[in-house]
């Protein structure tokens, strides 16, 4: 089964609009006419318009978060219709930093996923276990719970654009990285649970990304694992040269 890889950059709370413009002036020539992989960039909200102006259809642009309602008295929130109206193509849902620092629940992840699908945004749903959960042998249980909560009430037809990112919490911003074998095992668990809920055909076509201290010096090994369909890159995506090297990984 051939799944076109997706290489995504999550800038988190970095880069002003001016810094984003400087980034794209450097990055676009490095990206060139690259078409082997899909590329998406998730800048902070104030820099979305800069990314959208720079994209020219060469890469997707997404928000790092959104609310699960179309509109309402929710100060500081952004809705899916707003993102679509601005021109966004993607949205991150359930990133571990949202879950950990802002108390985002499995139920909220489900609501946001349903809303993204309703408004034709490509949802990148993040799942992953903590260091303690891995140490106690609970990785599979955590992944199954998070996947089931996110997609359990949805159909395969609804979930067609879905992307899942496995990002072990113990590897986010720590410098630790799952070995390709560990990542592939987790991806297999995710694919099996998706298969149970949405069917084997859907699961075989589903793109599952790895996220967690992805860097230019480990991307090649990760992308040589058949279960890994791309990467969600954090800190290493902030440098246009480093991120372009990640996008242009070498794989057998």
| Segment 136-144 mean pLDDT | 94
Q: Which residue has the tokens 């400087």?
A: 22
pLDDT tens for 2-50 read 899 999 999 999 999 999 999 999 999 999 999 999 999 999 999 999 9
Task: Quote the pLDDT of residue 212.
Answer: 87
pLDDT of residue 1 exceeding 60, the answer is no
Q: What is d(CA 153, CA 133) in angstroms, rounded to the nearest whole number?
A: 26
Q: What is d(CA 164, CA 116) in angstroms, rounded to the nearest whole number?
A: 14
| Segment 122-127 mean pLDDT | 98
Backbone torsions φ then ψ of 103, nearest 5 degrees: 65, 25
| Percent of the chain as helix, strand, coil, to the nearest 5 | 45, 15, 40
Task: Quote the pLDDT of residue 66.
Answer: 98
The yes/no answer on whether domain 6-247 falls in CATH 3.20.20.70 is: yes
pLDDT tens for 75-92 read 999 999 999 999 999 999
Give catalytic residues, as residue numbers.
95, 167
Every domain of the chain and the residues it spans:
6-247
Q: What is d(CA 40, CA 60) in angstroms, rounded to the nearest whole number?
A: 4
Q: What is d(CA 106, CA 146) in angstroms, rounded to the nearest whole number?
A: 6
Q: Which residues contact 178 (CB under 8 A, 6 or more apart)?
A: 168, 171, 186, 210, 212
Q: Which residues contact 206 (CB under 8 A, 6 or more apart)?
A: 3, 162, 163, 164, 191, 194, 229
pLDDT tens for 148-204 read 999 999 999 999 999 999 999 887 777 777 888 899 999 999 999 999 999 999 999
């Amino acid at each position: 089964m051939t799944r076109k890889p997706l290489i995504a950059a999550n800038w988190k709370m970095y880069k002003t609009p001016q810094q984003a413009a400087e980034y794209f002036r450097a990055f676009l020539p490095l990206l060139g006419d690259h078409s082997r992989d899909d590329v998406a960039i998730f800048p902070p909200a104030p820099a979305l318009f800069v990314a959208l102006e720079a994209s020219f259809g060469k890469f997707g642009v997404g928000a790092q978060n959104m609310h699960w309602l179309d509109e309402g008295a929710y100060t500081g929130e952004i809705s899916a219709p707003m993102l679509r109206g601005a021109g966004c193509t993607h949205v991150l849902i359930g990133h571990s930093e949202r879950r950990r620092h802002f108390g985002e629940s499995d139920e909220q992840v489900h609501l946001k996923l349903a809303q993204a699908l309703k408004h034709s945004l490509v949802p990148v749903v993040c799942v992953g276990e903590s260091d303690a959960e891995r140490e106690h042998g609970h990785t599979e249980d955590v992944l199954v719970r998070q996947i089931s909560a996110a997609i359990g009430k949805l159909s395969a037809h609804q979930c067609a654009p879905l992307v899942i990112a496995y990002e072990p919490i113990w590897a986010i911003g720590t410098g630790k990285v799952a070995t390709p074998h560990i990542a592939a095992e987790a991806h297999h668990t995710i694919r099996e649970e998706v298969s149970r809920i949405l069917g084997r055909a859907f699961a075989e076509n589903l793109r599952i990304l790895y996220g967690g201290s992805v860097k230019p010096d480990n991307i090649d090994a990760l992308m040589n694992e058949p279960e890994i369909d791309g990467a969600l890159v954090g800190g290493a995506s902030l440098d246009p040269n480093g991120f372009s090297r990640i996008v242009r990984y070498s794989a057998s």
